[in-house]
Amino acid sequence: MECYYPARMNDAALPASDTASPQGQRPAPGISLRGLAKTFAAQTAVQDVSAEIAAGELTVLLGPSGCGKSTLLRMIAGFEAPTAGEIYLAEAPIAALPPSRRDIAMVFQSYALFPHLTVAENITFGLSVRRTGKAETADRLDRVARLMGLETLLQRKPAQLSGGQQQRVALARAVISERPVCLMDEPLSNLDAKLRAEMRVEIRALQRRLGLTMVYVTHDQVEAMTMADRIVLMNAGRVEQAGTPEQIYAEPATTFAARFIGSPPMNLVPAEALGLPGAAVAGLRPEDIHIAAEGVPARIVSAEYLGADLLVTLAIGAAQVILRQPARTGLPAGPEVRLAWVPDALRLFDATTGHAIGRSPAV
């Protein structure tokens, strides 16, 4: 399968406007969520979520498991009816429509391939349900199979495919519908790490090439950072922060966002530990701290060697921080060191609410 990647990568490298929707007919609409809520019998899964999903962009719904991101996606798809709020697709309310009339395609976490049908029958299932003509079906199948590199697998059953191939069939089924909006529910969670990295690139390239509006659910912040045009970070049924990956990384709106994004995450320590006034929580990214001649005294606890980088864990009084530095810089001989940081990189959060202080939450 590897041989397909270079070709598709080159396609993806072209400006999106040149190759956007070779299927060509309809421009992708945006989705607007306004005051969405979903309450199940026992608990509230989603409360008062408002977000804009821009046309032709890849928006990632990111959050820990149980944060309501999958419920939100299922509401957009139409599998769950919202308890409150409305969903607009290109300004038209769709919350009352059944899934099939929303003009939305979806790729499921388990791929949801029909085990008794061949790859070709799986891909064309929707077309045959909607009674598309034979000639047109064959034509579209041919095009999509070539796009996804599935030409040689069309007569196989799903059980005879590898995880990556199954994933590609699931994508093909979404693409062949020629629906301009595509929802993805943790599509890579069943793949191994190497394949996941490859599929990440492939899905992103496909989305750009077809100009799809894509909503992508994941709990993996690396996936979100590498793929997203915009991230909607969710926690406990609410939107914690929405913005570009750069915005969320640089300006986390809350301590939750600071902890969730980045590996290792932002260091959060009481401000007084860094010798700062006030009762706030101070946040510093590991790469923004360095060992210096002057600064806050600290003691080296341990060091983790990552090849290019070295992650050093330090104790400042009772607080611990992690520092990232190039591995070849080396460590001083003794455990007692002094720390300094890039002044611009320091973020302050309210100790009780966890909200960022002194900056408007980046949205």
Partner 1 sequence: MKGWDWLATIGGWLLALLWVLPLAYAVWTAFHPSAYETHFNLLAPLTLENFPAAWVQAPFARYFLNTVVLVTVILAVQLVLGTFAAFAFARLKFPGKQVIFLLVLLQLMVMPDVLLVENYQTIRILGLVDSIVGIGLPYMASAFFIFLLRQTFMTIPTELDDAARIEGASLLTLIRRVYVPLAKPTYIAFGLISVSAHWNNYVWPLIITNSVNARPLTVGLSIFSAIDSGVHWSIINAATLMTSAPLLIGFLLFQRQFVQSFMRAGIK
**Site of interaction with partner 1 (CB under 8 A):** 77-79, 98-101, 104-106, 108-110, 112, 114-116, 125-126, 129-130, 173, 177
Q: Based on CB atoms, which residue is closest to partner 1, 40 or 79?
A: 79
Whose Cβ is closer to partner 1: residue 40's or residue 359's?
40
CB 100, min distance to partner 1, A: 4
Q: How would you class 197 by CB atoms within 10 Å of its CB: exposed for 0-12, middle for 13-18, buried for 19 or more?
A: middle
CA dihedral 83, 88, 92, 94 (to 10 degrees): -40
User: Minimum distance between the CB of residue 84 and partner 1, rounded to whole angstroms?
Assistant: 21
Nearer to partner 1, 77 or 147 (CB): 77
**CA terminus-to-terminus distance, the chain:** 40
Q: C-beta of 110: minimal distance to partner 1 in Å?
A: 5
CB of 210 to partner 1, least distance (A): 18
The nearer residue to partner 1, 101 or 355, going by C-beta atoms, is: 101
Min dist. Cβ of residue 104 to partner 1 (A): 7
Q: How far is CA 316 from the centre of its chain?
A: 34
With respect to partner 1, which residue has the nearer C-beta, 78 or 164?
78
- Please report, as a single letter, which amino acid is at residue 298: A
In the complex, the smallest distance separating the C-beta of residue 116 from partner 1, rounded to whole angstroms, is 4
Residue with tokens 């401000």: 271
Comparison of 77 and 120: residue with beta carbon closer to partner 1: 77
Q: How far is the CB of 205 from partner 1 (least distance, A)?
A: 24
